[in-house]
Amino acid sequence: MTIVRKQNRQFCIESLTAPGEPYEIVPGEVWGKPCRVFKNAPETLRDLYNENRSDETFLVYNEERYSFEETYHKAAKIGVLLAENYGIKKGDRVAISMRNYPEWVMIFTAITSIGAVAVAMNALWLSDEMVYGLNDSGAKVLFADQERLDRLESLFSQVELNVVAVRPTKPLFGNCTDLETMLSNTVEKGMPDRQIAGSDSATLFYTSGSTGNPKGVLSCHTNICSALLSWELEAKANNVEFGLTPPKLEVQAAVLLGIPLFHVTGSHSVFLMSYRSQRKIVCMYKWNVEKAAALIAKENITAFTAPPAMTGDLVEYARESASDLSSLVTVGGGGAARAPDQVGKIAVTFGRALPYTGWGMTESNAIGAGVTGRDYVNYPTSTGRKATIMDLRISDEDGNVLPQGERGEIQMAGPCLFGGYWNLPEADNESFVDGWYKTGDVGYMDIDGYLYIVDRIKDLVIRGGENIGCAEVEGALVAHKEILEASVYAIPNDRLGEEVGATIYCSGEVSEQLIRDFLKERIAAFKVPSYIIFSPKPLLRIASGKIDKRLIRQDAWQHWGLG
């Protein structure tokens, strides 16, 4: 496919961001750091919600349907509940841990509208992980569904907070109360009046790091609102650059929510991005490609964004079945690298649907670089060109900025960048240098400004879009009395991008199944190694005495026929 550029990209950006334009960019400050900002962005999420109330359909879940106005109305009652029944004040943390129910959206809307901080907990966490997140964040209230309530019940004495049950199916324990019962007894007063600024904290998302427990990523309203306008700007710039006219839809724009809302891709690019476009969100309880295809046809879904494993499932299902997926206009990705072959398949499988992908982080509210449509088909191994509102640079180990084509650590700055890790000043000191965030990803920029990710400095496995800290899995492994040493690393996987592999040295006989059963009681199932190698002797080490992870990983790849 030949790329035909109608306009110079720089000209497109300058035109769209010029004074008086909707995406005008001006000097500003976020988290005390000077940067460029969107002049016309909503100041807060509360403003975003208020400015986009309407009778258009917003949320669909099974047979349930809620308009934007109905969603806001219920969120306002939850806001009153939080303020009056639980005394939630500005800056207080309120946690959400559940499947993609409509209530997730309503609760998040309420929390961020009254100036509190929404703690988006990973719904895959097990009991110990939940307790850690709740205690670390200092959450005063937790909204949880039955699955999460079941996990928390045995360790409930280890947390001090109020629990509100969402769609419970069993008798409640401790001080748990039922959301619907409480709302039926809550007087309608509209959303509590709170004065909120763009600089106020809004969200706390947890991300697996290269060491120890997950880290809380604190973002403010300006961070998130900047991210939303960034996606809008890049889409418009792409249309102008390539002379594209967005397809005229005969139905309401609709997006399929098959990814969890506790990730920024789900919460930001699917949920929050739907406000200004008045887009319908069709929620899935869990990913199932057959159900996804049926929903796409039934609800005239125009957009689907998910990690490569899920979009790959949909491509293959569409090719093998007679499903009508012609309503799709865009099929997006993120969270992990998409195989070049899948990029081409998307472009030809869904008729008019164009593929796109992006690179970003929880720390940058999913903003960094992106590529779409014809451009993506021609640059399938790239993560695209940097977002206009953000600054990227490639740096060597000594902090020197490298020229185009040279590989180094990708560093970023800009209004979408988070304020810091929750209660971890030492992590902030390690992660920031002169206002630039050290991403831990290794890449290079080509002469045309396209970014390529080639390696990772941080010790992570990215499985189907989920970050897994190798140190956390190693810690869980060596907790077993027979395991003396463990090294955890990424194993390439066509569907998920990467799987978890481990090489262990034991003092006695231990089976793979015993190890997996042991781990499943301690860490979420997606973190449990799919590949295990037993070393007959202590693990290889480098001169400093540290385990030689790179060589162990290389040997493992060869062992499994991957190297």
**Which residues, 6+ apart, have CB-to-CB distance to 396 below 8 Å?**
402, 406, 408, 409
**Which residues, 6+ apart, have CB-to-CB distance to 92 below 8 Å?**
116, 117, 140
CA dist 461 and 441 (Å) reads 12
Question: C-alpha angle with apex 473: 469 to 478, nearest 5 degrees?
Answer: 145
- Per the structure block, which two tokens stand in for 245? 């006219």
CA dist 163 and 155 (Å) reads 13
- Per the structure block, which two tokens stand in for 149? 């309530």
Chain Cα centroid distance, residue 502: 25
Q: How far is CA 315 from CA 117, 187, 292, 341, 440, in A?
A: 38, 48, 12, 11, 31
pLDDT of residue 345: 79
CA dist 203 and 64 (Å) reads 27
CA dist 118 and 91 (Å) reads 10
Q: How far is CA 480 from CA 469, 483, 503, 541, in A?
A: 18, 5, 14, 21
Residues of the chain with pLDDT under 70: 1-4, 209-211, 335-337, 347, 543-545, 563
- Per the structure block, which two tokens stand in for 166? 């969402």
Q: How far is CA 507 from CA 472, 474, 514, 522, 538, in A?
A: 21, 16, 15, 21, 10
pLDDT of residue 333: 83
On whether the CB atoms of residues 110 and 118 are closer than 8 A, the answer is no
Taking each helix axis as running N to C, give the angle between helix 146-153 and helix 127-137, from 0 to 180 degrees, rounded to the nearest 10: 90
Q: Which amino acid is at 221?
A: H
pLDDT of residue 1: 45
Quote the DSSP letter at residue 494. T
On whether the CB atoms of residues 242 and 375 are closer than 8 A, the answer is yes
Question: C-alpha angle with apex 225: 443 to 37, nearest 5 degrees?
Answer: 70
Q: Is 508 helix (H, G, I), strand (E, B) or coil?
A: coil
CA dist 75 and 53 (Å) reads 12
Give the HSE-up count for residue 542: Cα atoms under 13 Å, Cβ half-sphere.
8
CA dist 364 and 362 (Å) reads 5
Quote the DSSP letter at residue 241. H
DSSP 61-120: ETTEEEEHHHHHHHHHHHHHIIIIIS---TT-EEEEESSS-HHHHHHHHHHHHTT-EEEE
On whether the CB atoms of residues 166 and 143 are closer than 8 A, the answer is yes
pLDDT of residue 312: 86
Taking each helix axis as running N to C, give the angle between helix 308-320 and helix 340-349, from 0 to 180 degrees, rounded to the nearest 10: 50
Which residue ranges form the domains of the chain, and what is each CATH number? 45-55+67-218 (3.40.50.980), 460-559 (3.30.300.30)
- Per the structure block, which two tokens stand in for 139? 């959450």
CA dist 428 and 414 (Å) reads 16
Q: How many CB atoms lie within 10 A of CB 67?
A: 16
Q: Which residues pair with 498 in a beta bridge?
A: 492
